[in-house]
């Protein structure tokens, strides 16, 4: 469905040509929303045409306004304020636009056709030595939501998770469990698998610190002590055994990772995120060695005198990057290069989005540039969706200092809070326990998800665990509540299907405003997909919900006696509910029928 802007811009372009004899691109026409202080639905910024007309801004606007009014029957009138041409669109236009929206069941979303771009979205990517925390929550919510938005915008999407299941950190947990675990399992301890493994990671760190302190008291320097502590040596030995395929180590590794995966699965389910494919680094970490050969052959990489392979990116202001250490072992970049190439062979994507924190900005710049220099044209499609850290009121989260917000605890807190508030208000009386749980889960998660997704991804955000569970104002639950109100009105109307609309009725200002907002939905989705930003969808949905709440105050639907007006308002209510629902699904938020 065409937006109002694109509908009008061709006419503006024509008018400019007719008046000033200059051809301009219709796509370059600049509109802005009309300032509420003036009359009008949409405003044309005429400053760009002042030079062409050779007249002042106001006169130029007058000329274009007159020309447009004569050419476009949908323009009822116009007025000029400084360099702004405010256009009033006829009610008839808005009403027929609304009827189109109403009849389009999947309004705002389009399904992928055969030529749709294929986008791979990698997100989550946890380590298996500890449970997920608040930082992962932002990652997961962003990744899931962006994938949904891209789907809604007509892309084919594949969501993948690359699990970091190997390395020294896992060995630390394994070693500590061996030493002090006493055979403890998730079943015997009643702990979630990932929580249990995380416990031993902390345990390792505690003993390790003790050893370092002991060595230091013997007069050994910090760095030296950290390297020489028996525990870390033992962990490194374990890693070597793992790499050489030691059956005992591998068995323990499989067992403990298995616990972690069960734990993660529960958390993912609670968060409502999903993946189409899961990759494991234990299968991919060796990739990338051929790339080194290829790069050397193509003279893109150089060998340093000490034997290390590097790529020189100084001309791109990115310094020199080691790709293979002098001892022949690979670095993260090596495997990421290999993984990208393999992945593109297996699934020839048009775009690949990596949802990874902004501390890796440099890494992904190098990754993209290196693949580009190697001649892989598809590297243009790589995009690092870089998001800011989540900070707490008393500073950053540091797992070593125990200031991490655990994802499972956070989710439980959100649900509990929703429960306390609902019970206090007496909203869930007489509800079955199971139904109540489901509702509190949905409301609690809406509060959390909306709070996180409404912030521009690239910005760092502050999360106050005690304040963010607010249900008032610009929050997920407020919008859910609006949806539930719409549904309630619809139920009480006792209509089972949308009545045929009589569009000869007069349009109230608030109704027109709502139609304008509804009309902007496809544009919001397209923008959100282009910028990979769920925040745009969140802001749009809030605008819609807020306007509806104000609208309702002005004209109670069910008391309306004029049947044509009543039907129109019911249809509007129905459409608002439908739009909120599909917008929220893109954010991974479910909307209850009742609250």
Sign of CA dihedral 108, 111, 112, 118: positive
Q: Binding RNA by CB under 7 A: which of 301, 349, 542, 584?
A: 542
Nearer to RNA, 43 or 129 (CB): 43
Site string for RNA, 380-419 (x = CB under 7 A): --------xx------x---------------------x-
- Told to check if 167 binds RNA by CB under 7 A, we report no
Are 80 and 62 a contacting pair, CB within 8 Å? yes
Longest dimension (CA), the chain: 92
Show contacts with RNA in window 200-259 (CB under 7 A). Answer: none
Closer to RNA at the Cβ: 237 or 359? 359
Across-strand partners of 384? 354
Among residues 141 and 175, whose Cβ is nearest to RNA? 141
552 binds RNA (CB under 7 A): yes
Contact pattern for RNA over residues 438 through 477, marking x by CB under 7 A: -----x----------xxx-xxxxx-x-----xxxxxx-x
* Shortest distance, position 86 Cβ to RNA, whole Å: 5
Shortest CB 354 distance to RNA, Å: 15
Q: Pick one of 32, 70, 77, 254: the residue that binds RNA (CB under 7 A).
A: 32
In DSSP notation, 95-146 reads HHHHHHHHH-TTTT-B---TTPPEEEEE----BTTS--BHHHHHHHHHHHHH
Asked if 353 and 121 touch (Cβ cutoff 8 Å), the reply is yes
* Run of H or E including 392: strand 390-392
Binder to RNA among 70, 73, 362, 403 (CB under 7 A)? 362
**Cα 258–263–264 angle (5° rounding)?**
95
Is residue 304 near RNA by the rule CB under 7 A? no
- Cβ 410 to RNA shortest distance, Å: 16
Q: Which stretch binds RNA (CB under 7 A): 114-122, 177-185, 353-361, 512-520?
A: 353-361
Among 66, 274, 276, 359, binds RNA (CB under 7 A): 359
Report yes or no: 594 and 484 within 8 Å, Cβ to Cβ: yes
Contact positions with RNA (CB under 7 A) in 481-500? 481, 484-485, 487-489, 492
- What is the torsion angle, in degrees rounded to the nearest 10, for the CA atoms of residue 284, residue 383, residue 270 and residue 459? 130
Segment lying near RNA (by CB under 7 A), choices 24-32, 205-213, 338-346, 402-410: 24-32
- Figure out which of the listed residues 17, 22, 47, 563 binds RNA, where binding follows CB under 7 A: 47
- Shortest spacing between CB 577 and RNA, in angstroms: 11
| Cα 490 to Cα 264: distance, rounded to the nearest angstrom | 40
Contact between 83 and RNA by CB under 7 A: the answer reads yes
Window of 65-73, 76-84, 106-114, 166-174 that interacts with RNA by CB under 7 A: 76-84
The answer to whether 410 and 421 have CB atoms below 8 angstroms apart is no
Could you tell me which of 514, 535, 515, 513 has the C-alpha nearest to residue 524?
A: 535
Cβ 515 to RNA shortest distance, Å: 18
Check residue 104 for interaction with RNA (CB under 7 A). no
State the nearest-atom distance from the C-beta of 120 to RNA, in Å: 24
555 binds RNA (CB under 7 A): no
Render 140-201 in DSSP notation, one character per residue: HHHHHHHHHHHHHBT-EEEEEEEEB--SHHHHHHHHHHHHH-TT--HHHH---HHHHHHHHH
426 torsion bin: left (phi>0), alpha (psi -120 to 50), beta (else) = left
Q: Does position 361 bind RNA by CB under 7 A?
A: yes
Query: Which of 422, 519, 575, 582 forms a contact with RNA (CB under 7 A)?
Result: 422
Q: Cα Rg for the chain, rounded, in angstroms?
A: 29
Shortest distance (Å) from residue 220 CB to RNA = 24
Q: How far apart are CA 278 and CA 122, in angstroms?
A: 10
Is residue 463 a contact partner of residue 391, using CB atoms and an 8 Å limit? yes
Question: Which residues in the 113-132 window bind RNA by CB under 7 A?
Answer: none
Distance between CA atoms of residues 469 and 461, nearest Å: 15
Is residue 358 a contact point for RNA (CB under 7 A)?
yes
Question: In this complex, which beta carbon is closest to RNA, that of residue 300 or of residue 389?
Answer: 389
Query: Contact at 8 Å (CB) between 482 and 545?
Result: yes
Mark 317-336 with x for binding to RNA (rule: CB under 7 A) and - for no binding.
x-x-----------------
Q: CB-wise, 84 or 568, nearer to RNA?
A: 84
């Amino acid at each position: 469905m065409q937006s109002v802007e694109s509908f009008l811009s061709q006419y503006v372009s024509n008018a400019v040509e007719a008046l000033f004899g200059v051809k301009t691109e219709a796509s370059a026409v600049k509109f802005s929303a009309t300032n509420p202080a003036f009359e009008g639905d949409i405003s044309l910024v005429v400053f760009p045409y002042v030079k062409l007309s050779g007249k002042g801004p106001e006169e130029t606007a007058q000329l274009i306004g007159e020309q447009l009014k004569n050419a476009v029957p949908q323009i009822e009138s116009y007025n000029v304020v400084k360099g702004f041409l405010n256009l009033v669109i006829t009610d008839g236009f808005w009403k027929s636009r609304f009827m189109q929206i109403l009849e389009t069941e999947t309004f705002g979303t389009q399904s992928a056709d055969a030529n749709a771009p294929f986008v791979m979205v990698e997100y989550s990517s946890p380590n298996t030595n500890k449970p997920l925390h608040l930082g992962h929550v932002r990652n997961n919510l962003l990744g899931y939501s962006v994938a949904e938005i891209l789907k809604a915008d007509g892309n084919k999407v594949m969501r993948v998770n690359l699990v970091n299941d190997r390395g020294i950190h896992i060995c630390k947990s394994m070693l500590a469990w061996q030493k002090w675990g006493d055979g403890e399992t998730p079943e015997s301890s009643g702990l979630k698998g990932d929580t249990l493994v995380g416990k031993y990671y902390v345990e390792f760190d505690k003993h390790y610190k003790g050893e370092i302190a002991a060595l230091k008291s013997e007069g050994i320097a910090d760095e030296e002590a950290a390297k020489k502590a028996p525990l870390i040596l033992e962990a490194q030995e374990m890693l070597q055994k793992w790499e050489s395929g030691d059956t005992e180590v591998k068995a323990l590794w499989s067992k403990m990772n298995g616990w972690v995966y069960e734990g993660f699965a529960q958390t993912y389910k609670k968060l409502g995120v999903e993946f189409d494919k899961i990759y494991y680094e234990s299968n991919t970490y060796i990739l990338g060695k051929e790339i080194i050969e290829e790069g050397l052959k193509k003279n893109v990489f150089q060998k340093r005198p000490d034997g290390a392979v590097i790529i020189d990116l100084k001309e791109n202001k990115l310094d020199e990057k080691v790709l293979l250490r002098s001892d022949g072992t690979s670095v993260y970049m090596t495997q990421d290069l290999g993984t990208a190439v393999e992945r593109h062979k297996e699934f020839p994507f048009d775009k690949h989005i990596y949802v990874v924190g902004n501390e890796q900005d440099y890494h992904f710049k190098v990754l993209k540039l290196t693949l580009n220099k190697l001649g892989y044209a598809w590297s243009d499609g790589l995009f690092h969706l870089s998001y800011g850290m989540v900070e707490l009121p008393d500073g950053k989260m540091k797992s070593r200092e125990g200031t991490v917000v655990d994802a499972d605890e956070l989710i439980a807190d959100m649900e509990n809070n929703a429960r306390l508030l609902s019970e206090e208000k007496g909203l869930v009386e007489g509800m079955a326990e199971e139904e109540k749980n489901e509702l509190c889960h949905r409301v609690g998660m809406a509060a959390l998800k909306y709070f996180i997704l409404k912030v521009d991804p690239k910005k760092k955000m502050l999360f106050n665990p005690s304040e963010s569970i607010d249900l008032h104002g610009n929050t997920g639950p407020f919008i859910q509540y609006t949806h539930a109100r719409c549904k309630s009105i619809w139920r009480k109307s006792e209509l089972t299907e949308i009545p045929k609309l009589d569009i000869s009725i007069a349009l109230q200002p608030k109704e027109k405003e709502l139609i304008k907002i509804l009309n902007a939905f496809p544009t919001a989705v397209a923008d959100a997909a282009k910028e990979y930003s769920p925040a745009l969808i969140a802001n749009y949905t809030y605008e819609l919900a807020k306007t509806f709440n104000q609208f309702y105050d002005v004209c109670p639907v069910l008391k309306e006696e004029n049947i044509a007006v009543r039907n129109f308002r019911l249809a509007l209510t129905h459409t608002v509910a439908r739009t909120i629902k599909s917008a929220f699904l893109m954010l991974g938020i479910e909307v209850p029928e009742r609250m």
